[in-house]
Amino acid sequence: MSVIVVGLEQRQAPLDLLEQVAISEDDLPKALSRLQDLGNISEAVVLSTCLRTEIYAVVERFHEGVAELQEFLASLGGRPGESLTDHLSIRFDDEVTAHLFSVAAGLDSAVLGESEVLGQVRRSWERAQAEDASGPVLGSLFRHAVEAGKRVRSETAIARGITSLSHGAVAIAAGRRPGGLQGARVLVVGAGEMGEGVTQALADHDVASIAVANRTSDRRDAVISNWPEGRPVQPRGTDLEGLVEELGEADVVFTTVATTHPIIDREMVEVAVAGREGSAPLLIVDLGVPRNVAPAAAALATVVLLDMEVLRSAVEDALSGRQEQAVLAAEIVAEEVERHRVDVRARSAAPTIAALRRQVDELRSAELERLRAKNGDLTDQQWEQIDVMSRALANKLLHGPTVALKEAAGTPRGERMTEALRALFDL
């Protein structure tokens, strides 16, 4: 049995490929069900964010498991499995732990130390549990990853300042306009977690107005209701059907919708910016993966389009000074990885050790009863002394094998020792 993670990440795969394999929240149950149908996989968790799609799995046979997950990811984009080879990230056993803990700590994000990814890790695990895809192995791994992520944020300053991609995107947008976002008419498309984060970040800027467009009015109105009281801004809501009109009235647009294809095409943008010649261009910040805005819109003279590739590079440059805190965070992650490794080793040895001790105690008790039946002239105090002595002897005999098995647990040597012990004692 091996724990593996197979996926595509921001640093190894182009944006268009990440778009093809992205798994939306609505598609997660179907994806988890497909993974459970693969005979070699006993547990699975899917972590799909704006800049990664990864599958964590417990597999019986390592190479077969990797091949199955590669084919699964490729099928999401309608591609042959071998087309992912140059971009695929594959890790197993301790490497999986180190990677997931780093992700949860925000060390592998576009925004170093970002806050959103910890919630994404937790929710991916909870969703897998709800679909009966996650079991004890991945449950323990993800639970500890969340704990490690929380510890990093409480013991380091890595999450101070810009703490999410949405906040980073607002800061970058402000830097792209003379005078920042002051007086800007802003449109936020999408009222999910990312859209809400953008709206919250905009509260720190003196924008002229803010509109939020979303598929459902309840979520849209909830985001708008969180706008700070007393601000000289009149936020308003809208739906996705009026996007062209809203685009025409906006100076800055943030798109954050989870979708499989662009919801804003070049023609929509072209109509919206008609007559802007001589005015400041429409700034569109596309936070969607897959993209919300057709890339062709960037060719329009009165449009500036920033997608995730541009944002990722800009945010990394802006946070280059956070490296000292990243070193401290990495040290904490290393400590937690080692603690998890020790815990896993102890748990993997526990059933065999318990079975051995149970068998020895049963044999000891049986022999004691047989001896008692033949020697009825001994007193209760004498039998008690014999019982104590026999327990002590059994514990001393078992101490060495117990320690050796615990120390080797989780390693090939430990597996060989466990198998030998089970065969020798018929456990």
CATH 3.40.50.300 fits 179-318, yes or no: no
Which residues make beta-bridge pairs with 92? 4
Low-confidence ranges of the chain (pLDDT < 70): 161-163, 229-235, 278, 316-322, 410-411
Type of residue numbered 321? G
What values do phi and psi take at 239, rounded to 5? -110, 175
pLDDT score recorded for residue 410:
65
pLDDT score recorded for residue 298:
93
pLDDT score recorded for residue 321:
59
E-strand stretches of 274-424: 282-286, 303-306
Nearest to 285 by CA among 120, 163, 175: 175
Nearest to 172 by CA among 307, 298, 324, 297: 307
DSSP 5-51: EEEEETTTS-HHHHHHH---TTTHHHHHHHHHTSTTEEEEEEEEETT
Q: Which position among 13, 50, 110, 408 bears the catalytic label?
A: 50
Cα distance between residue 271 and residue 397, in whole Å: 84
pLDDT score recorded for residue 3:
93
* CB of 340 closer than 8 Å to CB of 141: yes
* CB of 116 closer than 8 Å to CB of 197: yes
Domain assignments of the chain as residue spans, ordered by start: 2-161, 179-318, 349-425
**Tens-place pLDDT, residues 95-122:** 999 999 999 998 888 777 777 889 999 9
pLDDT score recorded for residue 181:
94
Which residues make beta-bridge pairs with 185? 209
* CB of 63 closer than 8 Å to CB of 40: no
* Bridge-based pairing state of the strands 303-306 and 236-239: unpaired
Cα distance between residue 227 and residue 315, in whole Å: 25
pLDDT score recorded for residue 186:
94
Chain mean position to CA 238:
32
**Tens-place pLDDT, residues 255-270:** 999 888 899 999 999 9
The CATH number for 2-161, chosen from 3.40.50.2300, 3.40.50.1970, 3.90.960.10, 3.30.460.30, is: 3.30.460.30
pLDDT score recorded for residue 319:
60
Nearest to 94 by CA among 230, 186, 201, 2: 2
- CA 350-356-361 angle, to 5 degrees, is 120
- CA 16-17-18 angle, to 5 degrees, is 90
Contacts of 138 (CB under 8 A, 6+ apart): 3, 43, 44, 45, 56, 57, 58, 125, 128
Which residues make beta-bridge pairs with 257? none
Do the domains 2-161 and 179-318 sit in the same CATH topology, yes or no? no
Concerning whether 50 is annotated as a catalytic residue, the answer is yes
- CA 132-414-400 angle, to 5 degrees, is 125
